[in-house]
Amino acid sequence: MIPRRHPEWIRVRAPTGAAVDETRTVVRRLDLHTVCEEAQCPNVGECWAHGTATFMLLGDTCTRNCGFCAVQHGRPATVDADEPRRVGEAAAELGLRHVVVTSVDRDDLADGGAAHFAATARAIVAHQPGCRVEVLVPDFQGDEAAVATVVAAPIAVLNHNTETVPRLYKQARPGSRYERSLALLRAAKRLRPELPTKSGLMLGLGEERGELLRVFEDLREHACDILTLGQYLRPSPSQLAVARYLHPDEFAEIGALAKDFGFRHVEAGPLVRSSYHAWQHLP
């Protein structure tokens, strides 16, 4: 039986502090979206206090309806061509050292939003020299030209999440394909071999240990360098239920197993999300 409340080890305090207030104020004034808030991330206070933020591009409405995600889905708005400039301005105003930019899925766009990602990376670097840009991209429906557009931009990390094991894709990631996600990571590495690539999975959706190990093997075979593993937390009753909560000790054990596959860095824990401690994932 699923507990009615989260276990004690994944409870966090509400985000407070000057850095949190300043980030929220700037984001509101520049009319930007952060995945920190849209996806109800439990680490928003810690990340904002460390000069890291994750901006969500291309609006707040997704063309897909993943079973785990709290972001609304439907018909997206017209692309805001000025958004890259405003993200760059926010990075400079907040003195950010590591910026993660992601987006809703935009299957309505010919390139899936790739050019917008690239423009945002260029704007961040122009406004805040020395800031490292990490992109967490959708699968672009397998369009390698879109991947090439992003890889050619001044980015420090390319991230694309596989999210869960293949068996659970139908319920967790309708509209996505496991093989397509792996192919994206391989393409990015082939196009720019020195670029670190990254992926992440949520645990607690009903996956089995052997399935996880096979995904770890697949990711390494497709040249993935960095891996994040975190607990799936149900955003609302509308999303998939939690199958089970993993104890921190189990996360440590699974993380150690993942490291044995040769990942450059593994971040594993109940509260880990794609951008959690992202500033530590690079040398």
Residue 4 maps to a domain: no
Summarize pLDDT for 136-181 with one digit per residue, the tens. Answer: 999 999 999 999 999 999 999 999 999 999 999 999 998 899 999 9
Provide the percentage of residues in the chain whose pLDDT is more than 90: 64
What is the greatest pairwise CA distance in the chain? 52
For residue 217, the SS3 value is helix
Whether 248 and 9 have beta carbons less than 8 Å apart is answered as yes
Share the mean pLDDT of the chain.
88
Residue 9 maps to a domain: no
Pull the structure tokens for residue 17. 């502090």
Residue 91 maps to a domain: yes
> Residue 175's pLDDT is what?
87
Summarize pLDDT for 101-131 with one digit per residue, the tens. Answer: 999 899 999 999 999 999 999 999 999 999 9
Residue 216 maps to a domain: yes
Question: What does DSSP assign to residue 163?
Answer: B
CATH of the domain at 270: 3.20.20.70
Residue 86 maps to a domain: yes
Residue 12 maps to a domain: no
> Residue 3's pLDDT is what?
47
Summarize pLDDT for 51-92 with one digit per residue, the tens. Answer: 567 898 998 888 888 878 777 788 888 999 999 999 999 999
Pull the structure tokens for residue 119. 């423009």
Long-range contacts of 256-263 (CB under 8 A, 24+ apart): 257/213, 257/216, 258/216, 258/227, 258/229, 261/216, 261/217, 261/219, 261/220, 262/220, 263/216, 263/219, 263/220, 263/224, 263/225, 263/226, 263/227
CA-based radius of gyration for the chain: 18
* pTM for the predicted model, two decimal places: 0.89
Pull the structure tokens for residue 187. 């393409």
Residue 272 maps to a domain: yes
**Segments forming the whole domain that contains residue 121:** 17-280
Strands 265-268 and 226-231: parallel
Would you say residue 270 has pLDDT above 90?
A: yes
Domain count, the chain: 1
Residue 5 maps to a domain: no
For residue 103, the SS3 value is strand
User: What are the backbone angles phi and psi of residue 166, rounded to the nearest 5°?
Assistant: -55, -40
Residue 69: which of 28, 46, 98, 103 has the closest Cα?
A: 103
**Alpha helix (H) ranges present in 128-247?**
144-151, 169-172, 178-191, 209-221
